Amino acid sequence: MRPSAVSVLFFGCLVLGGCTSSSGPESLMAGLPSKETTSSVTPSSPVPQANVGSDPIRAQPRQEVLAWGGPVPDAPKAFSAITPQATLPQAAPEIRLPVAPQAEVMRPAERPVQMAMAVAPAAGAGAQIRSRIFRSGFSDAKPINFGKVQPRHYQVHGVDVSRWQGEIDWERLRTRGANFAFIKATDGGDHLDPMFRTNWARAKAAGVRRGAYHFFYWCRPASHQAEWFIRNVPRDPDALPPVIDVEYNGESACKMRLPRAKVLEKMQVFMDMLERHYGQRPIIYTAPDFYKDHLSGEFLNYPFWLRAVAQHPSKVYPDRKWLFWQYSGSGLSHGVEGKIDLNVFNGSEEAWHRWVRSAG
């Protein structure tokens, strides 16, 4: 989810003295689009326009060992629904990430999301088709050798998409291995991805488990951004938890670099508002440089989705348990023209089904 190029007339604004940021409160009231966009790839063809109207889209027993081999926290946490010890061919020890006890910073009173009881998969042909896991048929324009533990060793693969993937054939994409998808919804406080509504509806119709993500803009109040996301992303019991995408964006009109404490404070405000509204603890997506500066050792009760396109996450984020790994921004697949981000879930098929039930 790297940012796309943005044309900014920043210095012209300074000279004229009459320009305001298109991500400011004035632009929100005026309905102007944000300059903040994010994507891992650039469009290979004109981006289709889509209807983005407002019509809506129609206690788990405690596990002794988590999917990656780490201990279960004492209270209900973000990972409490993961099944015991996922099995990965030969290389399982590589992804067993020991985590030293660390005190959480800036945590308000705990409000753990209630975890669903583990039950057998729902009966019926429709439920069986929806829960089917397709093996990965993705290829990569820039393949990487990750060492002993490769993405292919994981059983559940998925993608993340935005407007830059254009019109997606979701049925074909699912059979190629997109068992889940994180779909770009919003960024800042006034930008809605023009393909969000279309992708949101079509992914569900194809049986793809999907969640929405928000690209966080550091020059806007966190509460404004949460309100904007809530306004545009339906509350769907079939949806995966919402995602906050936090990273540096060198091409953004907002060049602000906040201190660590302020970053954590803004993230907490945003995530608390989403958790109250959707009843799901948000997932945090981030990249190595931002993680190192702000998130190492923080938010231990939240699931993480980590970008690591050159090494396994255990090498890049040695102190972090993770739920999703984005391993490529140059994936190739039938169903999408051009490139697409590729991801894996950290666990077995059984762990996936248990986590989906508890996350809902």
The residues carrying an active-site annotation are: 160, 247
State the DSSP H helix or E strand holding residue 128, giving kind and residue range, or none if neither: helix 125-131
Strand, helix or coil at 140? Answer: strand
Closest Cα partner for 225 from 260, 277, 160, 165? 277
State the DSSP H helix or E strand holding residue 185, giving kind and residue range, or none if neither: strand 180-187
State the DSSP H helix or E strand holding residue 245, giving kind and residue range, or none if neither: strand 243-246
* Spatial distance between the Cα atoms of 228 and 34, rounded to a whole number of angstroms: 12
Which string of b and e fits 110-142 if b means at least 16 CB within 10 Å?
A: eeebebeebeeeeeeeeeeebbeebebebebee
State the DSSP H helix or E strand holding residue 228, giving kind and residue range, or none if neither: helix 222-232
* Tokens encoding 1: 């989810």
Contact in structure between 42 and 330 (CB atoms under 8 Å): no
Contact in structure between 38 and 2 (CB atoms under 8 Å): yes
* Spatial distance between the Cα atoms of 151 and 147, rounded to a whole number of angstroms: 10
CA distances from 103 to 25, 150, 343 (A): 36, 32, 30
* Tokens encoding 291: 């993680």
